[in-house]
Amino acid sequence: MLHHARSLEMKIRLGEEVTSIVRSSSGAVAVELESKKRLVADTVLFSVGRTGDTDKLNLEAAGLEGCKPGRIEINSDLQTPVPHIYAVGDVIGFPALASTSMEQGRRAVCHAFGHPFEPCKTIPYGLYTIPEISMIGPTEEQLTKDRIPYEVGHANFNQIARGQIIGDQVGMLKLLFQRDTRKLLAVHIIGDSATELVHIGQTVMAFGGTIDYFCDAVFNYPTLAECYKVAAFDGRNRLCLEESFQAAESADEVAAAFDLDATLAELQGTQEGADNEANVSEEAIAETW
Q: Which residues bind ligand FAD (CB under 6 A)?
A: 50, 53, 56-57, 89-90, 96-99, 101, 128
Q: Which residue is nearest to ligand FAD (CB)?
A: 89
Residues 6+ apart with CB under 8 A from 281: none
Which CB atom, from 137 or from 153, has the smaller least distance to ligand FAD? 137
Which CB atom, from 78 or from 160, has the smaller least distance to ligand FAD? 78
Which CB atom, from 33 or from 109, has the smaller least distance to ligand FAD? 109
Instruction: Evaluate whether 93 touches 71 at the Cβ level (below 8 Å).
Output: yes
Which CB atom, from 97 or from 254, has the smaller least distance to ligand FAD? 97
How far out from the chain centre does Cα 232 lie? 17
Min CB(133)–ligand FAD separation in Å: 11
Min CB(102)–ligand FAD separation in Å: 8
Residue spans of beta strands (DSSP E) within the chain: 18-23, 29-33, 38-41, 125-127, 133-136, 150-156, 172-178, 184-190
Q: Is the dihedral of CA 54, 57, 58, 62 positive or negative?
A: negative
Which CB atom, from 75 or from 276, has the smaller least distance to ligand FAD? 75
Largest separation between any pair of C-alpha atoms in the chain: 87
- The string of DSSP codes covering 234-248 is HHHHHHHHHHHHHH-
Residues 6+ apart with CB under 8 A from 255: 261
Question: Reduced to 3 states, what is the DSSP secondary structure of residue 112?
Answer: helix
Min CB(59)–ligand FAD separation in Å: 11
Min CB(210)–ligand FAD separation in Å: 29
Min CB(264)–ligand FAD separation in Å: 49
- The string of DSSP codes covering 15-49 is S--EEEEEE-TTS-EEEEETTS-EEEES-------
| Run of H or E residues at 212 | helix 212-216
Min CB(121)–ligand FAD separation in Å: 18
Calculate ∠ Cα 139-145-148, nearest 5°: 80
Min CB(44)–ligand FAD separation in Å: 18
Which residue(s) pair with 31 in the sheet? 21, 39
